[in-house]
Amino acid sequence: MDIGDNLFYNGDCVEGMRRHVPDGSVDLIVTDPPYGIGGDMLHKHYHRDERFVVHGYVEVPKARYGDFTHRWIREAARVLRPSGQIYIVSGYTNLFHVLDALREVGLREINHIIWKYNFGVYTTRKYISSHYHILYYEKPGGRRARRTFNHACIFGPTEKGQDGSSLNYRDREDVWVINREYKPGKEKNKNELPTALLMKMVLYSSDVGDLVCDPFLGGFSTARVAVGLGRRFVGFELSDGIFSRRVREMEGVPVGGLLKSLRRPKGKAPRNERRKWTFAERTALVRNYNRSRKRGLSKAMAMRQLEKEFGRGRFAILNALAREGL
Ligand SMILES: C[S@@+](CC[C@H](N)C(=O)[O-])C[C@H]1O[C@@H](n2cnc3c(N)ncnc32)[C@H](O)[C@@H]1O
């Protein structure tokens, strides 16, 4: 079904990608495949009101999970452009199949992210499970097109929290604490992903107008966020019941509607950020650092001076000094 520039298919994603998505056409895949642990029985694990959960979730039998994972990840790798990226949300039970398939098709790890999440499960004879894995990979071979990573899309490079630490640094650490959304009395899919989590992945790893794909639409949460952020979208859902119920909602999602509500990062990047250090700069850095320390400045004060003088961030200065053995 076409809605604006966006395409939604009710059917198997492997067959669907083969038929409808050309090689190298997708900039970003964000997806949450079935977990192979009885997703259709998730209500036994979660304490929640099942009356509002949309039924029809298609689970993959455990015995077929490895083969199923290799097949869809092979298609995902084909449709990604060189330097295109993929985020796969996975539990730990079948994580080894996902890691194996990613390696087999030659996608390259960027980060292995831990998403700390309030499952709502309760155990008394072992630790309480409270995380998912997010495998963040890219397709190699993009000499001309660099990987899109908008490193200051949420917090500016110099923004500090109340304790003086860098908000930008904290937001880019690979452990994410984002809680599930409570939507009492509203329809939801089984394990629907939170909007804040999806916005983070789409904002950092794509630009307005890019093509985003989710092979496992479920509650269409990735689609709503991607279209809301002005990206183009293509997605698949095997369940007739879920698809017909949720696809209609897409007509009411304004293209780019979420862009207005985005936080504006404050502050400017240091003037020489990302510029390669020249030999003369490295020599001057060492000289000025040693001079400041001899004058009795603390390391922190010397660093602040050097940041201004060389137009670089704290970590760039620290790394450059470390390379010079200081
Ligand atoms: C974990 S859910 C996705 C949840 C979704 N991210 C959300 O936030 O609502 C996985 C979905 O994949 C669907 N599915 C299972 N096998 C599929 C296949 N071969 N092709 C497309 N969709 C499939 C299931 O019906 C289920 O809705």
Residue 40 has pLDDT above 80, yes or no: no
Q: Is residue 269 part of a domain?
A: no
Q: Is residue 23 part of a domain?
A: yes
* Cα dist from 114 to 92, 158, 198, whole Å: 11, 25, 14
Ligand 1 near 223 CB (within 6 A): no
- Residue 287 neighbours by CB under 8 Å, 6+ apart: none
Top mutation candidate among 216, 245, 247 for ligand 1, by most atoms within 8 Å of CB? 216
Q: Range of 94's domain?
A: 2-261
Q: Is residue 13 part of a domain?
A: yes
pLDDT tens digits along 244-273: 989 999 999 999 999 999 988 887 778 888
Indicate if 318 and 194 belong to the same structural domain: no
Whole-number Å distance, alpha carbon 287 to ligand 1 midpoint, is: 59
**Which domain-ending residue is among 227, 261, 295?**
261
DSSP 257-306: TTGGGPPPPPS---TTTTPPPPHHHHHHHHHHHHHHHHTT--HHHHHHHH
Q: Note the pLDDT of residue 227.
A: 97
Task: Report the mean per-residue pLDDT for the chain.
Answer: 89
Indicate if 303 and 235 belong to the same structural domain: no
Residue 5 has pLDDT above 60, yes or no: yes
pTM (predicted TM-score): 0.85
Whole-number Å distance, alpha carbon 266 to ligand 1 midpoint, is: 37
Structure confidence at residue 297 as a pLDDT band (50, 70, 90): confident
Indicate if 310 and 230 belong to the same structural domain: no
Residue 155 has pLDDT above 60, yes or no: yes
Q: Is residue 106 part of a domain?
A: yes
Residue 53 has pLDDT above 80, yes or no: no
Indicate if 175 and 316 belong to the same structural domain: no
Other C-beta atoms closer than 10 Å to the C-beta of 115 total 19
Angle between helices 314-323 and 299-310 (to 10 degrees): 100
Q: Which atom from ligand 1 is nearest to the alpha carbon of 58?
A: 25
Q: Which atom from ligand 1 is nearest to the alpha carbon of 236?
A: 21
Ligand 1 near 34 CB (within 6 A): yes
Q: Is residue 179 part of a domain?
A: yes
Top mutation candidate among 30, 32, 58 for ligand 1, by most atoms within 8 Å of CB? 58
Whole-number Å distance, alpha carbon 299 to ligand 1 midpoint, is: 53
Indicate if 295 and 154 belong to the same structural domain: no
Indicate if 26 and 131 belong to the same structural domain: yes
Ligand 1 near 235 CB (within 6 A): no
Structure confidence at residue 4 as a pLDDT band (50, 70, 90): confident
How does DSSP classify residue 128? P
Indicate if 92 and 191 belong to the same structural domain: yes
Task: Name the percent of the chain in helix, strand, coil, to the closest 5.
Answer: 40, 20, 45
Q: Which atom from ligand 1 is nearest to the alpha carbon of 31?
A: 6
Indicate if 219 and 287 belong to the same structural domain: no
For atom 17 of ligand 1, the residue with the nearest CA is: 238
Q: Is residue 266 part of a domain?
A: no
Q: Note the pLDDT of residue 291.
A: 92
Residue 301 has pLDDT above 90, yes or no: no
Whole-number Å distance, alpha carbon 123 to ligand 1 midpoint, is: 27
Taking alpha carbons only, the member of 40, 53, 57 closest to residue 184 is 53
pLDDT tens digits along 94-132: 999 999 999 999 999 999 999 998 777 788 999 988 899
For atom 4 of ligand 1, the residue with the nearest CA is: 218
Q: Is residue 271 part of a domain?
A: no
Indicate if 172 and 289 belong to the same structural domain: no
User: Cα-Cα-Cα-Cα dihedral of 83, 89, 91, 94, to 10°?
Assistant: -50
Among the residue ranges 13-17, 50-54, 83-87, 189-193, the one predicted with the least confidence is 50-54
pLDDT tens digits along 195-206: 999 999 999 999
Q: Is residue 273 part of a domain?
A: no
For atom 15 of ligand 1, the residue with the nearest CA is: 58
Number of domains in the chain: 2
Top mutation candidate among 30, 86, 217 for ligand 1, by most atoms within 8 Å of CB? 217
Indicate if 87 and 235 belong to the same structural domain: yes
Whole-number Å distance, alpha carbon 41 to ligand 1 midpoint, is: 14
How does DSSP classify residue 166? B
Q: Which atom from ligand 1 is nearest to the alpha carbon of 12?
A: 20
Indicate if 51 and 195 belong to the same structural domain: yes
Q: Which atom from ligand 1 is nearest to the alpha carbon of 13?
A: 20
Q: Please give the single-letter amino acid code of residue 32.
A: D
pLDDT tens digits along 208-248: 999 999 999 999 999 999 999 999 999 999 999 999 989 99
Whole-number Å distance, alpha carbon 171 to ligand 1 midpoint, is: 28
